[in-house]
Amino acid sequence: MKKNYLIFIFFLIGVFIWSEIYLPKNFQLEEEKLFSVEKGQSLFQISQYFEKEGLIKNKFFFNLYVILKGSQKKLQAGKYFLKPSESIAKIAKKIISGDIAKIIVTIPEGFTVKEIEEKLGMKLPGENLEGFLFPDTYEFPIDVIGKEVVEKMRENFEKKITPELREEIQSQGKTIFEVITMASLIEKEVSKNEDKELVSGILWKRLKNNIPLQVDATISYVTGKQTTKISREETQIDSPYNTYKYLGLPPGPICNPGIDSIKAAIYPKNSQYWYYLSTLEGKTIFSKTLEEHNLAKAKYLSR
């Protein structure tokens, strides 16, 4: 009888400990709050902080769980989204694994450095960033700084420009900077991949024959206007980025191109075309002669 009584007592203690560790303080409190675990804080300091802030019921059981897991030295500093409707076990696992609070942000293809800064709400330190911050979906710590953003986006860029692509660029006698500059023009000018390859062929051919590129997007980069329509007066703006006024590529990229535009710049498609234009609906019209091009402008852009 006494033995059964002791078993029952131990059972109740076990249930109590289990409930303290695996049941949350409050099922109803679903609102996440940001909690900071500082570098150098001990397990006992962390648990005391969580108890004081009303996140957990009892710091003893938080300590017990972590110690039984052998993870007291694995707790990672950082900012965490936590809530009282999470159990001690779940909260502890987040701190042990370093599941810090993150922001997920998508940088669209063709964004400029300025637009990326506006989207992130921060300045990005560094020189010659335009063109080399690869557009993609990124996951950053909630307290990320500009330097870390640049490092991650540049690292992604370096991975996307594979050894095969680098070898092809080199074999053509071009530099990565030239190719990315060309890709940025293509990115801003056309959207369809097959059109990008044709436009790439036209622009490289015009460069080779000392014909001005006359890319409208370079004017928009100078003026800062979010439009593809430019005036005759704007084509006279005295800027090295003005590809109407100056021969050759602009001094550098005018945006951060995606991989399709980069590949189009590396693998241009040869054609008999020398001119192209984009309609207001986004369709690309190609012409072999200046006369055909002027007729296309009158037809598609005079509205």
Q: Which of 64, 105, 71, 124 is nearest to 88 (CA)?
A: 64
Q: 173 vs 24, which has greater pLDDT?
A: 173
The model's pLDDT over 225-247, given as tens digits with 9 standing for 90+, comes to 876 678 888 889 999 999 999 99
d(CA 260, CA 241): 23
Report the candidate in 98, 80, 84 with the shortest Cα–Cα distance to residue 23: 84
Examine residue 4 and state whether it is found in any structural domain, yes or no.
no
Enter the pTM of the model: 0.83
Strands 275-278 and 78-82: unpaired
Share of the chain above pLDDT 90, in %: 75
Surface-to-core class of residue 159, CB atoms within 10 Å of its CB (0-12 exposed, 13-18 middle, 19+ buried): exposed
Q: Which residues contact 230 (CB under 8 A, 6 or more apart)?
A: 216, 219, 220, 223
In this structure, are 149 and 181 located in the same domain?
Answer: no
Number of separate domains in the chain? 3
Q: Does residue 227 fall inside a structural domain?
A: yes
pLDDT, tens digit, 9 for 90 and up, residues 168-209? 999 999 999 999 999 999 999 998 888 999 999 999 999 999
Rounded mean pLDDT, 74-101: 94
109 and 74 within one domain:
no
Backbone phi, then psi, for 119, in 5-degree steps? -70, -40
Q: Please check whether residues 66 and 155 belong to one and the same domain.
A: no
Contacts of 82 (CB under 8 A, 6+ apart): 32, 33, 35, 50, 55, 91, 94
- Are 89 and 107 part of one and the same domain? no
Residues 53 and 75 in one domain: yes
The CATH number covering residue 49 comes to 3.30.1490.480
Q: Are residues 89 and 106 in the same domain?
A: no
- The span from the CA of 2 to the CA of 229, in Å, is 92
Q: Within this chain, do residues 43 and 125 fall inside the same structural domain, yes or no?
A: no
Given a cut of 60, whether residue 303 has pLDDT beyond it is no
Distance CA(164)–CA(48), nearest Å, equals: 55
Do 153 and 182 share a structural domain?
Answer: no
- What's the average model confidence in pLDDT over 50-77? 93
93 belongs to a structural domain: yes
Of 97, 115, 133, the position where a domain reaches its end is 97
Residues 220 and 278 in one domain: yes
Q: Note down the domain range covering 69.
A: 10-97
Residues 224 and 257 in one domain: yes
The mean pLDDT value of the chain amounts to 91
Q: Are residues 208 and 283 in the same domain?
A: yes
| 5 inside domain | no
Residues 284 and 186 in one domain: yes
Examine residue 1 and state whether it is found in any structural domain, yes or no: no
Last residue within a domain, chosen from 47, 65, 97: 97
